[in-house]
């Protein structure tokens, strides 16, 4: 992955996750041009932004949907 962290773009239209927790813990994403996506912490909108290509974003979302990042509950 060739992602970078940088100062937020002012031209990004941010979307909050539909799975936002009641305590406001969530991420926001926005499109940058035709080929990049920006992601930030909704509690720190002036903080850093992670960017990635649209293809990397699709791969990440597919991994989340498949459970690749789910916490394991077993101790074996």
Global pTM value? 0.70
Identify whether 9 is part of a domain.
yes
Torsion angle of C-alpha atoms 5, 11, 16, 37, degrees rounded to 10: -50
Identify whether 73 is part of a domain.
no
Identify whether 74 is part of a domain.
no
What phi and psi, each to the nearest 5 degrees, are found at residue 66?
-80, -10
Identify whether 28 is part of a domain.
yes
Counted domains in the chain: 1
- What confidence tens digit (pLDDT) does each residue in 16-61 have? 877 766 776 788 999 988 899 999 988 888 888 899 999 999 999 9
**Tokens of residue 40, six digits:** 């930030």
Identify whether 14 is part of a domain.
yes
Provide the domain limits for residue 62: 4-66
């Amino acid at each position: 992955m060739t992602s970078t962290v940088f100062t937020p773009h002012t031209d990004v239209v941010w979307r909050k996750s539909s799975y936002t927790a009641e305590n406001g813990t969530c991420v926001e994403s926005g499109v940058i041009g035709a080929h990049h996506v920006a992601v930030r912490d909704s509690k720190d909108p002036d903080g850093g932004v992670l960017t990635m290509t649209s293809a990397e974003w699709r791969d990440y979302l597919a991994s989340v949907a498949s459970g690749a990042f789910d916490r394991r509950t077993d101790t074996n």
